[in-house]
Chain A
């Protein structure tokens, strides 16, 4: 690690003034014949909450592992806080905090022991590590847990919170959170969201957050990128992306797929953006209330009565649908599993609740 990186990593509590950007160009990772990440391009400005959205097996974790330097790219380049992930791994690791999907906790240690160890490994003095430990335990709400309780006896939510605290011991400029709320109950999820916002707003920390939850990306992220089958299929502000498919959606359910297909043709003059999925037709329009009367009249005229009709706001799932031709749920049903990197034993498990 260079002196500059060390000083930057340990220099203070405010990350905002330091480079917390991420630049990715043509990043690719192959596992044998399988291309897990295929030429990804991304730009994450400093101080942003960036949501990286995609179904299971899309390539999210593989891309994150390359950015945090534990997986070598097959091709392409990436810089994190200005450091090249392939050639300046030590510098990158000094300025990032990482909470991977698999919480890396030692079941035999206590939370305090783990935090002190982590802080000491990042160069804190013994007294400094103790101070950091107590502060972070308060931050993640674990300060009232029995100090002798070993991590193995923690619930899944407590493990996630401890993992987050471990990622923060050295006041990183950029925090990578790989599906931090997967498997958490709603209350724990809200608590993580609040903490992510606080870290970003109070400390100016860049947050790179992968998620398979549309709502999470929509509510938290300043900007999102959507990945499917290793390719980035959309990137932008959530509001802009949703507007690109039409602000509102008319979901029309028909008796069968034939009727839905006929309705698709009938309604083509009303809306350019439509998606037919089985017996359901989704019509994207700027203002649904203005279109619905005419839409119903045309369906009546064509003898295609809807079985159900719902108005809703466009979601990131609609963005995904438009970009990939399938919903997130359908994409997850493809059965593609994200490859596991070679240093992960077959028995490694995710934290469960």
Chain B
């Protein structure tokens, strides 16, 4: 566990030393929050719409931040592979799990900070979370798990391709998932059947629904548990893939 903490600390310090890599992700989230809330807030006046539109769109800003920020983890691994630092750490007693988790957890922690900023901005704009401060903490928790999932995917792609551009491109391939969902309106307001189907099978929908329940609804078991299952499952799957790839790509003997 110590080696995980040491490598997370090192990844966080490095990330902070290159602010240019963090700022775009925050900017995208803030942009989504401002633009969509300003342009679509009248959706909240539709009959049957539960809660505020700000509480509805805020999860979109968070998830988009997770996707754009996930690249940090992949890029950090690419940089370590290129510099030889990855091999240097492989030659220490640190586990490969720690080597992979270092940038992944750091990336998810940065996302949590970003989420706190977005929530603070939301509160300034008039957000009144239905579940209060504990609910906001739960939103940050979901964001952490979702961020770990994307960071795991980015790490997997980095180890697989060992190429910075390919890793970045693969990460951004997830952006359409944000929009094939209940991104701007609840599912019952979506008219196109194919988009309804896409939203139903898209795991992102369940992350949105869990966060929206906390912000606009309350402590509703079904969306919260579904959201937890999806975020945990995604993080476990991609983290496992990254670890598998780390074992496959390195020839380290046990």
Contact = CB atoms under 8 A, between A and B. Distances in A.
A binds B: yes
Interface of A: 1, 68-72, 85-87, 89-90, 92-94, 96, 98, 100, 102-109, 113, 117-118, 120-123, 166, 341-349
Contact of A89 (B88, B163, B254): B254
A347 B164 CA distance: 10
Nearest to B6: A120
23 contacts: A69-B252, A70-B90, A86-B253, A87-B253, A93-B91, A93-B92, A104-B83, A104-B85, A105-B85, A106-B83, A109-B14, A113-B13, A117-B6, A117-B10, A118-B88, A120-B6, A121-B3, A121-B6, A343-B87, A343-B251, A345-B82, A348-B82, A348-B83
A11 to B, nearest CB: 15
**Residue picked from B10, B91, B252, most chain A C-beta under 10 Å:** B91
Does more than half of chain B's interface fall in helix, strand or loop, or is it mixed? helix
Does more than half of chain A's interface fall in helix, strand or loop, or is it mixed? loop
Contacts of B163: 345-346
B239 to A, nearest CB: 19
**Residue picked from A106, A348, A349, most chain B C-beta under 10 Å:** A106
Nearest to A98: B91
Given A70-B91, A72-B253, A105-B83, 10 more contacts: A90-B93, A93-B92, A104-B88, A106-B83, A113-B10, A118-B88, A123-B93, A166-B88, A345-B78, A345-B162
B2 interface: yes
A118 B92 contact: yes
Given A93-B93, A108-B14, A123-B93, A342 B251 contact: yes
Given A105-B83, A105-B84, A106-B80, A346 B162 contact: yes
Nearest to B2: A120
B87 A94 contact: no
B253 A89 contact: yes
A85 B253 contact: yes
Contacts of A118: 88, 92
A72 B253 CA distance: 7
Given A343-B81, A344-B81, A104 B87 contact: yes
A99 to B, nearest CB: 9
A195 to B, nearest CB: 19
Interface string B56-93: 00000000000000000000001011111111111111
Nearest to B18: A108
B218 to A, nearest CB: 45
A70 B250 contact: yes
Contacts of A71: 251
Contacts of B249: 342-343
B92 A348 contact: no
A177 to B, nearest CB: 13
Contacts of B13: 108-109, 113
A342 B252 CA distance: 11
A353 to B, nearest CB: 17
Nearest to B250: A343
A69 B96 CA distance: 14
A71 B253 CA distance: 7
A152 to B, nearest CB: 9
B231 to A, nearest CB: 30
A68 B91 contact: yes
Contacts of A69: 91, 252-253
Contacts of A102: 84, 87
A248 to B, nearest CB: 43
B2 to A, nearest CB: 7
A176 to B, nearest CB: 10
B251 A341 contact: yes
Contacts of A94: 93
B136 interface: no
A347 B92 CA distance: 23
Interface in B162-184: 162-163
Contacts of B83: 104-107, 348
Contacts of B87: 70, 100, 102, 104, 343-344
A276 B181 CA distance: 78
B138 interface: no
Contacts of A105: 83-85, 88
B228 interface: no
Interface in B202-225: none
A225 to B, nearest CB: 22
Nearest to A116: B6
Interface in B1-26: 2-3, 6, 10, 13-14, 17-18
B81 A122 contact: no
B116 interface: no
Contacts of A345: 78, 81-82, 162-163
B97 interface: no
**Residue picked from A69, A104, A344, most chain B C-beta under 10 Å:** A104
A9 to B, nearest CB: 9
Interface string B241-254: 00000000111111
B94 interface: yes
A100 B89 CA distance: 12
Contacts of B162: 343, 345-346
Contacts of B82: 345, 347-349
A117 B7 CA distance: 8
B9 to A, nearest CB: 8
Given A72-B251, A104-B88, A121 B81 contact: no
